[in-house]
């Protein structure tokens, strides 16, 4: 089994856990990431407006059906690497500078065969007792792009958490609800939009924070991605 095949296997295992989550029998719970005000540094793919607008719009509909954070257009992303995840996070600009400096050489358009955009197909919305995501089906280029980035940071003494999948987080619940209080939510999820193919435009270095009021993602530096479709 190749590294990419192993990545897909692990991703599918997590998607399967979402599908088998006991939401319909036990309800949902307030996300721990929200209650602990978790945050950290992030390297993330940024999607075109056709994707971010659709996800943000549906995130608002979810929040109207169940108490949940709205992920707005600026918050929609796919994580490539997370660093320094902690409760009550406060960012340090010097760390952001270090992360950006590590990525500049491999994101340069003058470097042949390095970090390029990789298409991801989004066609399945999944939910568990903590959150709602859109499951992504990536090509091997997504995996190897992530590997290049993670390895480059590691070579510079920065140990990051690599991605477990190519998903997009669309919502996290802010309050617990019983199944009988989720009828509108269940009906809504049956009509979730099919997003289709995304061709990410940018790779961002930044930081994020979750709180009961909002999910906040701030971009420190943005790299345009080469496309080769």
**194 lies in a domain?**
yes
Percent of the chain with pLDDT over 90: 86
Structural element, H or E, at residue 144:
helix 140-155
Structure tokens at 72: 């707005």
- Per the CB < 8 A criterion, the answer to whether 31 and 71 are in contact is no
229 domain-assigned: no
Domain harbouring 215, CATH code: 3.90.1140.10
In a domain, 168, yes or no: yes
* 175 is a domain residue: yes
The enclosing H or E element of 126 equals strand 120-127
User: What's the total number of domains in the chain?
Assistant: 1
The pLDDT value recorded for residue 182 is 99
Residue 228 lies in a domain: no
Which runs of E-coded beta strand occur in 47-164?
A: 78-86, 120-127, 131-138
Q: Which residues pair with 89 in a beta bridge?
A: none
Q: 24 exposed, middle or buried (CB, 10 Å; 0-12, 13-18, 19+)?
A: exposed
Q: Which two tokens stand for residue 133?
A: 């995501």
Q: What count of other Cβ atoms lies within 10 Å of the Cβ of residue 110?
A: 6
Q: What is the pLDDT of residue 229?
A: 47
Please indicate, yes or no, if residue 111 is contained in any of the structural domains: yes
Name 15's bridge partners.
none
In-domain check, residue 190: yes
Average pLDDT of the residues in 168-185: 98
Strand order across the 78-86 sheet:
78-86, 39-46, 202-210, 215-224
Cα–Cα distance measured from residue 195 to residue 213, given in angstroms and rounded to the nearest whole number: 27
Q: For residue 144, what are the domain limits? A: 3-222
Among 226, 209, 214, 180, smallest CA distance to 26 is for: 180
Q: Are 82 and 174 in contact (CB under 8 A)?
A: no
Q: Would you call 41 helix, strand, or coil by DSSP?
A: strand
Interval 33-60: pLDDT, tens = 888 889 999 999 999 999 999 999 999 9
Q: By percentage, how much of the chain surpasses pLDDT 70?
A: 96
Residue 215 located in a structural domain? yes
Checking if the pLDDT of 93 tops 80, the result is yes
pLDDT for position 120: 98
pLDDT digits (tens, 9 = 90+) for 118-143: 899 999 999 999 999 999 999 999 99
* Strand partners of residue 116: 226
């Amino acid at each position: 089994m190749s590294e990419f095949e192993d990545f897909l296997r692990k991703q599918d295992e997590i998607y399967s856990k979402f599908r088998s989550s006991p939401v319909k029998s036990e309800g949902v719970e307030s996300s721990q990431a929200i209650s602990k005000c978790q945050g950290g540094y992030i390297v993330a793919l940024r999607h075109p407006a056709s994707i971010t607008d659709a996800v943000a719009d549906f995130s608002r509909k979810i929040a109207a059906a169940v108490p949940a954070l709205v992920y707005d257009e600026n918050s929609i992303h796919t994580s490539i690497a997370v660093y320094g995840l902690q409760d009550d996070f406060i960012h340090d600009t010097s760390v952001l500078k270090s992360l950006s400096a590590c990525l500049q050489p491999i994101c340069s358009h003058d470097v042949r065969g390095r970090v390029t955009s990789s298409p991801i197909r989004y066609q399945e919305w999944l939910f568990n007792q903590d959150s709602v995501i859109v499951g992504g089906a990536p090509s091997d280029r997504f995996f190897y792009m992530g590997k290049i980035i993670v390895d480059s940071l590691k070579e510079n003494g920065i140990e990051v958490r690599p991605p477990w999948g190519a998903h997009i987080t669309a919502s996290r619940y802010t309050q617990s609800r019983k199944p009988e209080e989720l009828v509108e939510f269940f009906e809504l999820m049956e009509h979730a939009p099919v997003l289709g193919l995304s061709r990410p435009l940018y790779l961002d270095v930044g930081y994020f924070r979750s709180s009961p009021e909002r999910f906040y993602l701030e971009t420190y530096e943005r790299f345009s991605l080469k496309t080769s479709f």
